[in-house]
Structure 1
Amino acid sequence: MFNSENLLLTFIFTVASLLHGISGIGVTLVSTTALASMYSLQHAIILIIFPSLVLNLMTWLVGGGCSIAENFCYYLKHYWLLALMSLLGSLLGVKLLLWVDSSYILVLLSAVIAFYVISNALGKRIILPATTPVLIVTGLIAGIIGGSTNAMSTILLMYLLGSSDDKNTIAKVGNMCYLLGKVAQIIVLRDSLIALPKADWLLIGLLTTVSLASLMIGIRLRQYLSQARFRQLVLVILTVLGLRVGWQGIVGLIG
């Protein structure tokens, strides 16, 4: 169980979950990029589904001065259309994993990471107008990218930054949509999940436990650590991993 590979995975999920606790995003993007350089993209996404689902659920429903029921009702009532579009897009996105050569998706993941890193490094954020047509298109595109690459946040945040100035709302609505993306992945990949060996389920249980613990630590560290410095470190890690994933995709297309 505790071989060198599993220890590396545990470290990856610890770092990603700490970032998620500090900033409200990060767990799926960092962990997917790292695992995609070690496994097939589909298997990497399968291993990440449940740890990410639990963290997204916790971030959406817990905290913010409201009860779990109040969080559920409020954000679903006000952002149900965005959530629905994200879910529909995610269902289509996961299908791409089964229909399209994974090399194309790896190149797409690398491109999304490059956009994310460059825009953050330059300190620029693209903000979309909060109109219904933009909401529908953004939700669908974010869902498709999220379902196939787990990089939904890079697109979804463009709309959320234009619809709200409240960081708590942005984090909670984002995690609500990320959660529905995980649900879509479970629906489409259920046969692959059922076929997982016991060793993989034990690993998923370990990663989920580690992620939860790291999330709680990250939330507590928000007031003590510089979020900007931590995110700079993550950008460096993502750059290296993104280059590696992109190279894998290009080699797969050429070969």
Structure 2
Amino acid sequence: MEFTTEFLIFASIVIFFSALVQATIGFGFPMIATPILAMVTDMKTAVIYVAIPTLLLNISALIVEKNFFQIVKKFYLLAIFAMIGSAIGTQILIYSNSEIFKLLLAISILFYLFSQKLSFSMPWVEKKKILSTVIFGLSAGIIGGLTNVMALVLIIYSLESKHTKREIIQSSNLCFMFGKIIQIILFTYHGSFTQEILELSLYNLLIVLICIVIGLKLRNKIKEDNYNKVIKGFLFIMALALIYQTLI
């Protein structure tokens, strides 16, 4: 794959904005970066382009928590099944790279945005913890492998499991980390990570590192409620644009 100068400039701005959001509130990078990039390229390229920066942000978010091994102990089973699901989703993406995945991404974002307003409950999640972990872990991984939006399934699982906000961020980042590791391995094995992609990823990592420093300073200064409203509104517009692009 070859990237034009215009695309690289545009992608750099997207990476900066998305990484700054994640560094500030603890999550959001792949959910914001992937749909924007998918609007100017195909789904597979968008996922590959943000894979390594996503992994760095997930690792940094877990390091900031300062209790990495406790997080792993608590959520390792969910993360393992998310990794298995991610492997399945990535394989499908590699062999069936289709515009329909953009529509799936848009639907996933819309479902995430409206899920907290829907009055449904799944009491079996708490009663059958192992089964729910397997189902939600695999589902999150498959959707994450295909669209990079693993968070929506994990958030539903966490809310039904009565997890705290901190636990939601911890489990999401751990699952994303496991999922990204296997995804990068598979992309490398199939030759999707070219030398150009690796060089661009190193450049993007510099942008991400700058955003991490800025974001950590902003974290306690920005009112989270207002920030979340802006991000959700932005995601809603992106989802509608993806639907229009796919169907028209």
User: How do 1:207-226 residues align onto structure 2 when only pairs under 5 Å count?
Assistant: 207-226=204-223
2:156 aligned partner, one-letter code: M
Per the TM alignment, residue 25 of structure 1 is displaced from its structure 2 partner at its CA by: 1.2
The residue aligned with 1:118 is 114
Is residue 37 of structure 2 the alignment partner of residue 35 of structure 1?
A: yes
Conserved 8 A contact 1:91-1:185: yes
CA distance in 1, matches of 2:42, 2:163: 38
The residue aligned with 2:9 is 7
* Range with greater deviation from structure 2 (33-42 or 73-82): 73-82
The residue aligned with 2:103 is 107
Structure 2 counterpart SS, 1:230: helix
Is residue 139 of structure 2 the alignment partner of residue 141 of structure 1?
A: yes
Distance 1:3 1:100, change over 3 A: closer
TM-score after normalising by structure 1: 0.85
Conserved 8 A contact 1:90-1:181: yes
Per the TM alignment, residue 135 of structure 1 is displaced from its structure 2 partner at its CA by: 1.3
CA distance in 2, matches of 1:57, 1:126: 33
Conserved 8 A contact 2:43-2:99: no
CA distance in 2, matches of 1:5, 1:146: 24
Distance 1:12 1:42, change over 3 A: same
* Range with greater deviation from structure 2 (11-20 or 136-145): 11-20
Distance 1:21 1:101, change over 3 A: closer
Conserved 8 A contact 1:86-1:181: yes
Conserved 8 A contact 2:42-2:99: no
The residue aligned with 1:152 is 150
Q: Gaps spanning 5+ residues in structure 1: where? A: none
Q: Gaps spanning 5+ residues in structure 2: where? A: none
The residue aligned with 1:187 is 185
Distance 1:126 1:170, change over 3 A: farther
| 1:240 paired residue among 229, 237, 243 | 237
- Give aligned-pair identity as a percent: 25
Once the two structures are superposed, residues 172-226 of structure 1 have per-residue CA deviations (whole angstroms, 9 ceiling, x without a partner) of 22101001111121122113344x243x333222222112221232222121111
Per the TM alignment, residue 119 of structure 1 is displaced from its structure 2 partner at its CA by: 3.6
Conserved 8 A contact 1:19-1:230: no
Conserved 8 A contact 1:127-1:159: no
Distance 1:108 1:209, change over 3 A: same
Once the two structures are superposed, residues 50-76 of structure 1 have per-residue CA deviations (whole angstroms, 9 ceiling, x without a partner) of 00001111111x123x3xxx51x2222
Conserved 8 A contact 2:110-2:236: yes
Per the TM alignment, residue 141 of structure 1 is displaced from its structure 2 partner at its CA by: 0.4
CA distance in 1, matches of 2:15, 2:221: 21
2:56 aligned partner, one-letter code: V
Cα RMSD for the two superposed structures: 2.3
The residue aligned with 1:85 is 81
1:245 aligned partner, one-letter code: L
The residue aligned with 2:64 is 63
Conserved 8 A contact 1:34-1:241: yes
Conserved 8 A contact 1:22-1:227: no
Per the TM alignment, residue 101 of structure 1 is displaced from its structure 2 partner at its CA by: 5.0
CA distance in 1, matches of 2:72, 2:241: 38
Distance 1:33 1:15, change over 3 A: same
CA distance in 2, matches of 1:115, 1:229: 21
TM-score after normalising by structure 2: 0.87
CA distance in 2, matches of 1:52, 1:26: 10
CA distance in 1, matches of 2:121, 2:212: 27
